[in-house]
Structure 1
Amino acid sequence: MPESFTDTPLLTSRFDAALHYATRHHARQLRKGTTVPYAAHLLAAASLVLEMQGDEDEAIGALLHDVVEDGGGRPALTAIEAAFGPTVAGIVLANTDTVDEADRGSGGAGWYARKRAYLDGFPDKSPAALRVSLADKLHNARSILLDYRTHGDDLWSRFGQSRGLATRVYYRELASAFERERERLGGPAQPAIDEFRRTVDAITALAETHQGPDTRTLFDDAR
């Protein structure tokens, strides 16, 4: 079958500029515990957004979704809005759990508070922001599963954990949150929602093989 073409490309020079901005900001950053440039994750997230038929603002948001959280802070958010507009800045903000480093908190309690707030904010996120979030988390989950199959429980040391329970619980919460927002995410996003659930369930099953049943399933479990 011959390649398809369009007279009105979805991606313009704005996307090119965002790609340059993102790769320069994250130039020295690597994926946790690997030698993989962080840009690989940004490109994967943008690709997944486009596969969900997201628009250029969403693709740019995917490229820039970690800029503020990974050292850019509020000045970066202001710069993103000036360069790429308020819609992109809103997508980035909705996918940032800490804007100011001083608000990050420390230890497990700080991590839990940030992740709980991120999950609680799902109903208020725009469909565009949700699609970028789904792309981000799906690529992360794919990477976790692949590396868990390769490295076993040694993987969890990358996250400052010995057994990875906190991360697994968080990803199960995310899967449920995306499922609750199915309708707002739109038809083209449905396969990605389902793949995210399958990937999270596969991580859980692999953990049970290594460790036995998890002692907690979701954040609010009493057991």
Structure 2
Amino acid sequence: MNIVDKAIVFAAKVHRNQVRKGTDIPYITHPFAVGMLLQRANCSEEVIAAGILHDTLEDTDTTFEELKDEFGLRIAILVQSASEQDKSLPWEVRKQHTIEHIKDASLEELQVIVADKLHNLQTIHKDLDVMGDAIWQRFNRGKREQHWYYSSIVKALSRRKREFPLIGDLEEEVKAVFGSIDFLSEQEISLIFECAYLHINEGVGKELASRQLLRFVECIVEEAEQLYRDEQEHLLDKLEDLSSQGMQFEMNSEGPLILAAFFIALQNKLQWSDQELFKYVEKNKSKL
């Protein structure tokens, strides 16, 4: 039995009592489909096997040691890389970790992760045609949060599109499901800049809530507050970068450091390049 056939048997056993979220479809259809995507993309047998096994650590009782003993260290590491490490953390924290991790993942790790996300989104796309927006009720977070997550993955991989063709397929699927790679409108970005001093007033909070963005902005503020407490040197570097772009700051107060923390947190959350950040800071400087 080759390594791919062995992975099929193993995954079928450990996922045998599971179904896809919100359906009665056997869960194993998803890892099998991920393996098929990787096979069609001419990936190695080890990567295909890891794709078939990619949810065994996260969603079954399988341990890393068991995978290593059954399939070798290389495949076990690929599966571990595609797995969320701490399911007890908030959804936003777990997804942000995946976004940051994928930027510097090895090509083989990237292949497994992208194929997983692509098949998930393809499934959502098919179900949207049948169920409409009711589909989002299946998930821990709704359409706005899912749009942020998948768009951020695509943006995080923008410089690596030539390495793996399924990244381009994932980008097209994001556009098909959500209408655009851009998660926020210009008006919504402007609204978020109202919170640049790490305070969400009642009026802005109500507007953000009506747009299903309140928790999103609260996460930005929370990250910025931590940066402000712990990363003073990093904040000074960001202020220097902004000053080099023509921004002026009154350095005799804490305000510029608070703004720098907000800018870094916002940039991390939206996967903006420095040029995008500078553009939106300039557009919204009246709020600063």
- Normalised by the shorter chain, which TM-score bucket? 0.7 to 0.9
* Offset of residue 85 of structure 1: 0.8
User: Which residue identity lines up with residue 112 of structure 2 in the other structure?
Assistant: V
1:173 aligns with 2:147: no
The residue number in structure 1 matching 2:94 is 114
Name which of 15, 19, 42 aligns with 1:26: 15
TM-score normalized with structure 2 length: 0.61
Aligned pairs for 1:8-47 (under 5 A) are: 13-47=2-36
The residue number in structure 2 matching 1:49 is 38
Structure 2 CA distance for aligned equivalents of residues 165 and 34 of structure 1: 22
1:220 aligns with 2:209: no
User: Which residue identity lines up with residue 168 of structure 2 in the other structure?
Assistant: D
The residue number in structure 2 matching 1:105 is 88
Identity rate, percent? 28
The residue number in structure 2 matching 1:63 is 52
User: Which residue identity lines up with residue 52 of structure 1 in the other structure?
Assistant: A
Structure 2 CA distance for aligned equivalents of residues 91 and 33 of structure 1: 28
The residue number in structure 2 matching 1:141 is 121
Residues 134 and 178 of structure 1 are in contact (CA less than 8 Å); yes or no, is this contact kept in structure 2?
no
TM-score normalized with structure 1 length: 0.78
The residue number in structure 2 matching 1:125 is 105
Structure 2 CA distance for aligned equivalents of residues 201 and 24 of structure 1: 35
Of the two structures, which has the highest relative contact order with CA contacts closer than 8 Å and spacing of 6 or more? 1
Q: How many residues align?
A: 191
Structure 2 counterpart SS, 1:220: helix
* Offset of residue 142 of structure 1: 0.6
The residue number in structure 2 matching 1:87 is 74
Structure 2 CA distance for aligned equivalents of residues 79 and 180 of structure 1: 35
> Structure 1 segments of 4 or more deviating over 3 A?
213-219
Name which of 56, 63, 69 aligns with 1:76: 63
Structure 2 CA distance for aligned equivalents of residues 41 and 180 of structure 1: 28
User: Which residue identity lines up with residue 220 of structure 1 in the other structure?
Assistant: K
Q: Which has the larger radius of gyration?
A: 2
User: Which residue identity lines up with residue 116 of structure 1 in the other structure?
Assistant: Q
Name which of 188, 193, 210 aligns with 2:167: 193
* Offset of residue 125 of structure 1: 1.5
Provide structure 1 residue ranges, at least 5 long, that are not aligned to the other structure.
Answer: 1-11, 207-212
CA RMSD of aligned residues (A): 2.4
* Offset of residue 77 of structure 1: 1.2
The residue number in structure 2 matching 1:210 is none
User: Which residue identity lines up with residue 269 of structure 2 in the other structure?
Assistant: D
Residues 82 and 113 of structure 2 are in contact (CA less than 8 Å); yes or no, is this contact kept in structure 1?
yes
* Offset of residue 117 of structure 1: 0.9
Structure 2 counterpart SS, 1:198: helix
The residue number in structure 2 matching 1:9 is none
Residues 38 and 51 of structure 2 are in contact (CA less than 8 Å); yes or no, is this contact kept in structure 1?
yes
* Offset of residue 21 of structure 1: 0.7
* Offset of residue 35 of structure 1: 1.5
The residue number in structure 1 matching 2:253 is none
Provide structure 2 residue ranges, at least 5 long, that are not aligned to the other structure.
Answer: 181-186, 189-210, 217-265, 271-279
User: Which residue identity lines up with residue 87 of structure 2 in the other structure?
Assistant: R
